Structure 1
C-alpha cells in the first residue's frame, strides 16, 4: 500500500487575527472577542490582557478583515497575519 498526499489549492490564504493592543475601552473589546470566539467574558478579558493574542486562526481573508474591523471599532489595535507555508511545500 502506498501513501498518497494531496495538496488542496484554494484562492484564500488562511489568516490569523491578532489583537495587539486592547486600548482603553477594554470591556468593549472583550465583548467583541466574546462575539467572535464564543469565549466567556472572563476568558475574553484574560485573552485581551495577554497581548499580542491570536483571537482567530485559519479564517478566510474576508472573515479576518471583518474581525479586525470589529476590534478596531471597539477601540483596539488588531491585524491579520497570513499563515506560513508548510515546510513540505518549500522546495
Structure 2
C-alpha cells in the first residue's frame, strides 16, 4: 500500500482585520463594525472596547483592506460644529 501526500498551495492567503485601538471615536468605530459584521450596535461597542479585537478573519486581502480603511476613516472623522441657536 502506498501513501500519498498532498500539499495544498493557496495563491490567496487569507487576511484578518484586527482593531488595536478605537481612538476617541468609539461609537463611530462601533457603527463601522456593526456594518462589517452585522452585529447590533451594543455588541459592536462591546467588541470595540475589548481590544485587540478581530473584526474580520480569513477574508481576501481586498476585503480586509476595505475594512481597515473604513475603520481608520471612522476613527479620524471630524464632526461638524453644532450651529448655535440664533435669537
Q: TM-score range by the shorter chain?
A: 0.7 to 0.9
Equivalent in the alignment of 2:42? 42
Number of corresponding residues = 75
Structure with higher strand content: 1
Q: Name 2:23's counterpart in structure 1.
A: 23
TM-score, normalised with respect to structure 1: 0.73
Distance of 1:72 and 1:46 partners within structure 2? 18
Unaligned runs of 5+ in 2: 77-87
Cα 1:17–1:5 change in 2 (3 A) is: farther
Structure 1: unaligned runs, 5 residues or longer? 77-91
Per the TM alignment, residue 7 of structure 1 is displaced from its structure 2 partner at its CA by 4.7
Which aligned runs of 4 or more in structure 1 are off by greater than 6 angstroms?
A: none
TM-score by length of 2: 0.76
